[in-house]
Amino acid sequence: MSAKKTAYCVVASAWLAVFCLFGYRATFAIFSGPMAQTMNWTGAETSLGYSIMMTVYATTAFFSGMILDKWGTKPVYFIAAIFCMLGFFCTARVDSLIGFYIVYSVFAGIGTGMLWVSSTISVRKWFVGNQYAKMWGIAFAGAPMAQVLLSLGVKPMLVQSASQWRPAMTYLSWIFLVLLLLATFLAKRNPEQYGLVPFGAVAKKAGEEAPKEYVWSIKEAFGTYPIWASIIAFMGCVCGEFLIWTQIVRYWTNDLKMPLDLATNLYVIIGVAGIFTMPILGIIADKAVVHYKNEVKGRKAMLIFAPSVGIAACILLLMMGKDSLILGGLVCVLFAIYWAIEPGGVVGYAGAIYGRVSLGKIWGLSTWIIMGIGPALGSYMGGYLADTTGNFVASIQFAMGAFAVALIASLSMPRTVELPEKAKAKLATDSLMQTP
């Protein structure tokens, strides 16, 4: 198989992984109502299962990064295939709230936790420089595709009867198993293990050896500022994003008195727009790298732009009225633009700073911190502020503030990182040994 075909297999497997990951997230919003109705659970009790699942997800993401660095993507996707299948299959057969918490939270948490770090890092290991964002944009387009296709696919069954959530979950369990086994088959190890170099890497001159990357330990990396700037920037964005995702339809229906069908269809625009914005913004992000002639500067510029778009979308959201459908559509497109940049862009920045070799374990721990705090904080504050104030204005303002924190963190991102003393000493020794 040619180098390009091998690399494209990596992108295809990442697309399938992202599709299944966001398929879990998109369908829970649809399943939660019928589940609560037929099982006599409250909305809070049902949502708690998702919150616990995200905690398991964040913890699993850390370990998946360590597995990825050592053994590659195939074992990670295979584990995900089994647990994602069990997450839906076993949940469809629970008859108690405790059973739901155990089965869904553990199985789905482990399964989905294996997918995010592995998909992002696998693409980063194969594509760097002016090639990464475009290829990640193609892979990440699986997320909005899942949001649109699976939401529309599951909805007709639940319209017939709320109890149809059980067979719907069963069908999805087998679909996800097949898709993730296919992802496992397509997945590849790191390019070096095939005698290849990443696409987008600087070409070597004749007789010149490629510079060796320093292998960072977790302690060393987390003792530097760039990773914390990345964490704060992404956590702020995720906090604002999850608040908007969970509250925007309720804002339109409760505050603006918009019909539910209209509000739901408006919300789907985010997913539809994302199918196009993700690859397009990926191309633009790579052009930024070429423009600045430096990957770190290019990625940083895009990470400054992303939360700025999130803030603008929140401002326009607060300006909406019941009949402001064009403005509502623009808001959804802006959120899709933000979504297309931030998740992959922050991984691209971290990869440009710390290199590809150490990125799995570094970003695995970062994901544990980010996803362990951001989604829960954003979702909780969105509901809490709405309950205490009687409307969703304060919730949207909180999301705006979270995006502002992310913007400040992005502005502070350094362009370089100082190597540990032992690495400097080794470089100095190597330089002396090479001096004639």
Average pLDDT score over residue span 337-358 = 91
What is the reported pLDDT for 230? 97
Distance CA 347, CA 299 (A): 9
Q: Which of the two residues, 124 and 428, has the higher pLDDT score?
A: 124
Residue 186 class from Cβ within 10 Å (0-12 exposed, 13-18 middle, 19+ buried)?
buried
- Angle, vertex CA 351, rays to CA 73 and CA 369, nearest 5: 80
Task: Return the higher-pLDDT residue of 94 and 192.
Answer: 94
Checking if the pLDDT of 268 tops 70, the result is yes
More confident residue, 43 or 312: 312
Tens of pLDDT along 79-89?
999 999 999 99
CATH entry, 215-431, from 3.40.50.10420, 1.20.1250.20, 3.40.50.720, 1.10.1740.10? 1.20.1250.20
Helix, strand, coil percentages (3-state) for the chain, rounded to 5, are: 80, 0, 15
Please give the pLDDT value at position 311.
97
Cβ atoms 226, 350 nearer than 8 A = yes
More confident residue, 247 or 436: 247
Lowest-pLDDT choice from 27-31, 35-39, 140-144, 182-186: 27-31
- Mean pLDDT is highest, among 12-21, 25-34, 159-168, 369-378, for 12-21
The pLDDT, as a whole number, for residue 324 is 85
The band of 432, judged by pLDDT with boundaries at 50, 70 and 90, is very low
Give the span between the Cα atoms of 348 and 124, in whole angstroms: 7
Question: Do the domains 1-190 and 215-431 sit in the same CATH topology, yes or no?
Answer: yes
Query: What does the pLDDT look like over 128-177, one tens digit per residue?
Result: 888 898 999 999 999 899 888 887 787 777 767 778 889 999 999 999 99
Q: What is the mean pLDDT of residues 10-14?
A: 95
User: CB atoms < 10 A from the CB of 193, how many?
Assistant: 9
**Average pLDDT for 410-432:** 71
Question: How confident is the model over 380-406, as pLDDT tens digits?
Answer: 888 888 888 988 899 999 999 999 999
Domain ranges for the chain: 1-190, 215-431
Mean pLDDT of all residues in 306-314:
97
pLDDT of residue 424: 56
- Backbone φ and ψ for 422, nearest 5 degrees, come out as -65, -30
Can you say whether residue 207 is alpha, beta or left, with left for phi > 0 and alpha for psi between -120 and 50 degrees? left
Percent of the chain with pLDDT over 70: 92
pLDDT bucket at 431, cuts 50 / 70 / 90 = very low
Q: What is the mean pLDDT of residues 175-204?
A: 85
Q: Give the C-alpha separation, 390 to 388, whole Å.
A: 6
Give me the CATH code for the 1-190 domain, please: 1.20.1250.20
Mean pLDDT in residue range 332-343: 93
Q: How far apart are CA 350 and CA 227, in angstroms?
A: 7
User: What is the per-residue pLDDT across 209-264, written as a single tens digit (0 to 9) for each?
Assistant: 555 678 899 999 999 999 999 999 999 999 999 888 878 877 888 899 988 778 87
Model confidence band, residue 54 (pLDDT cutoffs 50, 70, 90): confident
Q: Measuring CA to CA, which residue among 145, 140, 115 is closest to residue 281?
A: 140
Q: What is the pLDDT of residue 51?
A: 78
**Token pair listed for 16:** 């399938």
The residue among 197, 381, 398 whose CA lies nearest residue 310 is 398
Return the pLDDT at 53: 87
Looking at residue 433, what is its pLDDT? 40
Lowest pLDDT segment from 27-36, 207-216, 278-287 = 207-216
- Mean pLDDT computed over 348-354: 92
Lowest mean pLDDT among 13-17, 57-61, 182-186: 57-61
C-alpha–C-alpha distance, residues 390 and 118, integer Å: 41
Rounding to the nearest 10 degrees, give the CA dihedral for residues 215, 218, 219, 224.
Answer: 80
Give the Cα separation of 334 and 340 in Å (integer): 10
Record the tokens describing residue 359, joined without a space.
């990125």
State whether residue 202 is helix, strand or coil: coil
Q: Residue for token digits 């914005």? A: 277
Tokens found for residue 249: 């339809």
119, 120, 102: which is closest to 110 by C-alpha?
102
Report the pLDDT value the prediction gives residue 401, as an integer from 0 to 100.
Answer: 97
Question: Distance between CA 171 and CA 193 in Å, rounded?
Answer: 37
Whether residue 12 has pLDDT greater than 90: yes
Average pLDDT over residues 196-217: 67
* E strand map for 11-109: none
Q: Residue 199's beta-bridge partner residues?
A: 127
